[in-house]
């Protein structure tokens, strides 16, 4: 009886210690979990702008836009803007949308306009091969002579379409006016022949023009 009583007292003496120990272990575990969660939160939602010295990653630069010329052109002062534009973009791709009303010879061609033909949808269409723009003439050229040639004592620039047309570049006649529209590669050759300096314009697709930038 006495032994049993002693064991009972011994059991009652150890019970609270075990409970306290287990509680402390549980609390320690919870604190560890909470600390881990807080650390993970800080890593996921940290503000990079505060105390974070990182070198910015610079991506590839945006492609340069294709230079574009829209308008009309002609001889002397009326052609200066176009010719300056082509000079500035030598060896580059450009987009042209330009007509030459003072050189309105019609599809058959004539002074300062050379044409060629090709089959088209069961018929024939006329394409522009060359447009000659006078840049300097003798002083005796009258205003009535709106389409002078080298035979009138002038010098100029020959705009030569150098290559087959593409789906994104073409030449055509609109009400008899020779016109160019689309992407072209510019080559200011500097070649001088019979008073004309040549600029070659090679037709391009839009993809070719972008690739050349």
Identify the residue with better confidence: 26 or 211. Answer: 211
Q: Which residues pair with 200 in a beta bridge?
A: 160, 187
Q: What is the mean pLDDT of residues 150-155?
A: 92
Q: What is the dihedral of CA 141, 131, 81, 136, to 10 degrees?
A: -30
The helix (run of H) or strand (run of E) holding residue 174 is strand 169-174
φ, ψ dihedrals at 12, nearest 5° = -65, -30
Span of 50-54, 78-82, 127-131 with lowest mean pLDDT = 50-54
Q: Are residues 172 and 110 in the same domain?
A: yes
- pTM above threshold 0.85: no
Name residues whose C-beta falls within 8 Å of residue 63's C-beta, 6 or more positions apart in sequence: 210, 213
Q: For the chain, what is the domain count?
A: 2
Which of 58, 84, 107 is the last residue in one of the domains? 58
Q: Are residues 116 and 46 in the same domain?
A: no
Q: Are residues 100 and 48 in the same domain?
A: no
Q: Are residues 18 and 107 in the same domain?
A: no
Domain presence at residue 63: no
Print the domain residue range for 3: 1-58
> For 168-199, how does the pLDDT look when each residue is reduced to its tens digit (9 = 90+)?
999 999 999 999 999 999 999 988 999 999 99
């Amino acid at each position: 009886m006495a032994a049993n009583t002693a064991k009972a007292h011994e059991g009652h003496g150890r019970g609270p210690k075990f409970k306290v120990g287990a509680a402390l272990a549980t609390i320690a575990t919870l604190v560890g979990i909470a600390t881990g969660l807080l650390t993970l939160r800080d890593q996921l939602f940290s503000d990079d702008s505060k105390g974070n010295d990182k070198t910015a990653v610079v991506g590839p630069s945006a492609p340069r836009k294709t230079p574009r010329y829209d308008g009309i052109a002609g001889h002397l002062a009326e052609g200066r803007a176009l010719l300056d534009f082509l000079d500035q973009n030598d060896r580059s791709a450009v987009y042209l949308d330009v007509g030459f009303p003072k050189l309105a010879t019609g599809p058959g061609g004539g002074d300062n306009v050379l044409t060629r033909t090709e089959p088209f949808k069961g018929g024939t269409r006329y394409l522009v091969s060359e447009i000659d723009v006078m840049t300097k003439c003798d002083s005796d050229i009258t205003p009535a002579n709106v389409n002078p040639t080298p035979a009138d004592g002038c010098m100029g620039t020959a705009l030569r379409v150098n290559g087959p047309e593409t789906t994104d570049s073409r030449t055509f006649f609109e009400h008899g006016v020779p016109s160019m529209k689309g992407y072209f590669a510019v080559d200011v050759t500097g070649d001088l022949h019979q008073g004309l300096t040549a600029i070659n314009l090679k037709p391009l697709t839009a993809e070719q023009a972008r690739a050349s930038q």
